[in-house]
């Protein structure tokens, strides 16, 4: 017997400082440890990857190379302050792009979504700040995390799919999240230039048509490859587009009959594909209903209907009569009770005198 899941401490210590903070390791290292996290736990385990917690200094302070030591926790030690540059917020966005698209149950320590600063415990427990108290860097980071959260929430692949590494180099990580009838491709770019990657069908990807989730753009190809792109210091998410039937692909699987399109961060549309013949006239459907009555029984059925109507009228009459008798009985019983009560009061009053 063992735990069904827990905080993924191994993954945290392997990547947060090495990759996102100091850059000692590149995105090849990030991809390696993400895969190790999937292969070294029991199947069905629900691990919780995280970037910060109540036991660690704040993520934004760890990513702020120009700030005070994030391990400090007392006032006399020069505590970390709010970053003055955009660099740690960009790094934080890249880190959350990874956290919210990999398998597991991602944990966000309250405040990290906008970049709350602070050292080690207890300095990592500042009061939560409202939106109008955030600066432009913090608001921009918050919007990115909100978008990532919506993308994950509305993607079955990202919530439940398996993890498959596709490509990685110094500042680019590409992986797929797959379910039985779909796949979602994730690209995370920590570099300063837009990146493009051409992927081969049947090896790297397995469909002909994909939807760019963030931009709601569909692109397809019947060639042997597709090219995907991601902006600098940004992420891209591409999901299999079920609205386009792929060549030589069966659509018998019900999972292939719906598609989620992200129109904005609050609304999604779910187009449905009808398996039935949409050209069938409603009148034809009505006329196709078989007549189960027999001609020889028509008179009998009519007599039974008339007899049934007579019985219903008799029942209504009895009900009305019974109702009138019940009302009379209740009235009489009420009068008798009042008379008895009056006599009882008179008797008690007379005895008392």
Instruction: Decide if 240 contacts 182 (C-beta within 8 A).
Output: yes
Q: What whole-number distance in Å separates Cα of residue 91 and Cα of residue 20?
A: 6
- Fold agreement between 9-153 and 158-269: no
Residue 243 is predicted with a pLDDT of 57
Mean pLDDT within 270-286: 37
- Going by pLDDT thresholds of 50, 70 and 90, the confidence category of residue 109 is very high
Q: Which residues of 43-63 are buried (b: 16+ CB within 10 A; e: fewer)?
A: eebebbbbbbbeebbbbbbbb
Least confident of 73-87, 105-119, 258-272: 258-272
More confident residue, 251 or 183: 183
Class of 9-153 per CATH? alpha beta
Give the helix/strand (H/E) hosting 142: helix 136-153
More confident residue, 194 or 294: 194
Class of 158-269 per CATH? mainly beta
Query: Two tokens at 174?
Result: 């590409």
Tell me the pLDDT tens digit for each residue of 320-347. Answer: 444 455 566 677 777 777 877 777 777 7
* Every domain of the chain and the residues it spans: 9-153, 158-269
Residue 347 is predicted with a pLDDT of 74
- Going by pLDDT thresholds of 50, 70 and 90, the confidence category of residue 114 is very high
């Amino acid at each position: 017997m063992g735990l069904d899941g827990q905080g993924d401490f191994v993954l945290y210590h392997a990547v947060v400082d090495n990759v996102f903070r100091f850059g000692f390791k590149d995105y090849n290292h990030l991809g390696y440890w993400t895969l190790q996290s999937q292969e070294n736990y029991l199947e069905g385990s629900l691990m919780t990857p995280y970037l910060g917690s109540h036991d660690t200094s704040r993520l934004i302070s760890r990513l702020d190379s120009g700030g005070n030591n994030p391990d400090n926790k007392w006032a006399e030690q020069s505590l970390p302050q709010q970053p003055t540059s955009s660099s740690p917020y960009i790094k934080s966005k890249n880190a959350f792009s990874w956290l919210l698209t990999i398998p597991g149950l991602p944990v966000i320590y309250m405040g990290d979504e906008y970049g709350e600063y602070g050292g080690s415990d207890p300095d990592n427990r500042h009061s939560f700040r409202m939106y109008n108290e955030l600066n432009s860097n913090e608001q921009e980071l918050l919007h990115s995390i909100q978008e990532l959260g919506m993308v994950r929430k509305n993607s079955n692949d990202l919530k439940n799919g398996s993890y498959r590494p596709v490509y990685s180099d110094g500042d680019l990580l590409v992986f797929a999240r797959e379910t039985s009838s779909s796949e979602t491709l994730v690209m995370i770019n920590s570099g300063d230039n837009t990146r493009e990657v051409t992927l081969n069908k049947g090896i790297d990807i397995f469909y002909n048509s994909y939807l760019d989730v963030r931009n709601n753009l569909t692109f397809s190809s019947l060639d042997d490859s597709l090219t995907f792109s991601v902006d600098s210091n940004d992420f891209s998410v591409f999901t299999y587009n079920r609205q386009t039937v792929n060549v030589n692909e069966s659509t018998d699987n019900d999972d292939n009959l719906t598609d989620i399109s992200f129109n904005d961060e609050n609304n999604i549309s779910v187009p449905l594909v009808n398996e039935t013949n949409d050209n069938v006239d409603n009148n034809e459907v009505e006329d196709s209903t078989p007549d189960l009555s027999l001609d020889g029984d028509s008179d009998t059925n009519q007599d039974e209907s008339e007899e049934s109507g007579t019985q219903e009228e008799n029942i209504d009459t009895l009900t009305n009569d019974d109702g009138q008798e019940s009302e009379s009985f209740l009235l009489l019983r009420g009068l008798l009770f009042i008379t008895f009560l009056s006599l009882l009061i008179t008797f008690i009053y007379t005895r008392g005198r």
